[in-house]
Structure 1
Amino acid sequence: MSIPAVKMKLLEGKKGLVVGIANDQSIAWGCARAFRGFGAEVAVTYLNDKAKPHVEPLARELEAPIFMPLDATVPGQMEAVFERIGETWGELDFVVHSIAFAPRDTLAGRVTDAPLAGFLKTMEISCWSFIRMAHLAEPLMKNGGSLFTMTYYGSEKVIENYNIMGVAKAALESAVRYMAAELGPKRIRVHAISPGPLATRAASGIPEFDTLLEKAKRKAPARELVTIDDVGVATAILAHDATRLMTGQVLYIDGGYHIMD
């Protein structure tokens, strides 16, 4: 699927933030490109100075009016981004949170053996950061809006080598449900998007990930792997007002892989 093929201005006039673009293979990039293709304005963040050269050309391609650093572990950076959005736009219609992290030793080890520091770091970046973004986005979503985060099937089934990240994703999905209940009266929808396995830089840290990709392609009813554009287009469509009564969901974009045993 190509983004130019879906350039219907379904989201024209909407403004949103996409967090988590690392390069042109990122799920967040697929989302940002789809939102822009549907006519929305998109603000973009980058992790740090090392990441900036990889993200800046993509931000230019999106014609992003806001391009700022956002490291969830650096005090004040997240708040600065939302403050800038308030100053520039005065409102916000959607947020895409596509960041997760676990220290290598914590991810590689058993959940049973997880050190406290590694567990807390994993939860801070992979779960709490989405909760904090929702808190900061809420006052800007004056006419309602949509909050999206990225999860994975390892939240509900034991996936070999996914380990502590599965625990964090389970907490993230629970947070989605609670926030959907709390923010629903303000017409703010909250979803977790669960793509099938994707060859991204983040996934490269998971041992034997190539084997997981092969298994997904073999077992998924669609017999093909999902792409970042598949994820992006589906996510962007969920930001349309036509889906206003959908909230609190874990939405699988995986060719049906999750229904198979």
Structure 2
Amino acid sequence: MNTETVYPILAGKRALVVGVANEHSIAWGCALAFRKLGAEVILTYLNEKAYPHVAPLAADIDAQLLPLDVTQPGQLEALFAVLAEQGQLDIVVHSIAFAPKADLQGGLLDCSLDGFLQAMDVSCHSFVRMAKLAAPLMTQGGTLFAMSYHGANKVVPNYNVMGPVKAALEAACRYLAYELGPRAIRVHAMSPGPLKTRAASGLKDFDRLLNDAVARAPIGELVDIVDVGNTCAYLASPYAHRVTGSTVYVDSGLNIVA
């Protein structure tokens, strides 16, 4: 018998979660955690190819489902126009990243200008644009999340162009936390340990990275999407209303090991 007691500390809150591709997505772990704690959830899907994978998940948690491809002019603005008509927004999760395969799998020296700019636009600047549109809807304050990785601060072999891009994302989170703090909007860069997601599958020797994480992390276990989602739910709750601007590691302590 499950005797777990769940307190709906996010009841009455509305959470937009961007980046669910399938049930293995970090964004899905966030959506599950928010919904479990009482929040209303809005999910997005990238395109018609992605829709059949995301729609059943949205149905599972009674979530609204809307299209969003941040590379398409006007789509982000259209999404927030719909949300504005529906009322207040309290939580936003940005869990999207992209780099062309050739630029991702080659070293930084070989990264093309177009590839670098695409990676920066989708993985970093779209979060800034999202924050600008979300802030006016967070009339009672709110919480913004972006997904980073330890490769933003230390060299992780084969992470390549995404290292500098994620470093920019973490810096953007700090500056947004400073600018939005007076409006009671908190901003967090989340840094999960290695996870078996579709995005991670594009990294060379990723299985070796997973095995190394288990061997080196103090807790000796890989994290999963629920771990990340639960941490985000805590940070979005009243229990963390004085926490902002940090890079929050959810990695079994891997980041502290030399």
Describe the superposition over 1:54-97 as per-residue Cα deviations: whole angstroms up to 9, x where unpaired. 00000011111x31111110111111111111112x11001000
- Select between 7-16 and 186-195 the one with higher mean Cα deviation: 7-16
* Per-residue deviation, 1:6: 6.3
TM-score by length of 1: 0.96
Residues 2-151 of structure 1 aligned to structure 2 (within 5 Å): 5=4, 7-64=6-63, 66-88=64-86, 90-151=87-148
Counterpart-to-counterpart distance in 2, 1:164 and 1:72: 20
Describe the superposition over 1:200-249 as per-residue Cα deviations: whole angstroms up to 9, x where unpaired. 00000001000000000111011100010010011111001221111001
1:251 aligns with 2:248: yes
Residue 128 of structure 2 aligns to a residue whose secondary structure is: helix
Counterpart-to-counterpart distance in 2, 1:118 and 1:144: 36
Counterpart-to-counterpart distance in 1, 2:245 and 2:70: 23
Structure 1 gap segments, 5+ residues each? none
Counterpart-to-counterpart distance in 2, 1:86 and 1:236: 23
Q: Answer whether contact 1:193 1:250 (CA < 8 A) is retained.
A: yes
% identical aligned pairs: 57
Structure 2 gap segments, 5+ residues each? none
* Per-residue deviation, 1:7: 3.1
* Per-residue deviation, 1:194: 0.4
Counterpart-to-counterpart distance in 2, 1:80 and 1:33: 25
1:219 aligns with 2:190: no
Residue 223 of structure 1 aligns to a residue whose secondary structure is: coil
Equivalent of 2:150, from 146, 150, 153?
A: 153
Equivalent of 1:239, from 206, 215, 236?
A: 236
Q: Answer whether contact 1:7 1:39 (CA < 8 A) is retained.
A: no
Counterpart-to-counterpart distance in 2, 1:130 and 1:248: 14
Moved over 6 A (4+): none
Residue 223 of structure 2 aligns to a residue whose secondary structure is: coil
Q: RMSD of the alignment, in Å?
A: 1.2
Counterpart-to-counterpart distance in 1, 2:233 and 2:77: 24
Q: Answer whether contact 1:217 1:225 (CA < 8 A) is retained.
A: yes
* Per-residue deviation, 1:112: 1.7
Residue 56 of structure 1 aligns to a residue whose secondary structure is: helix
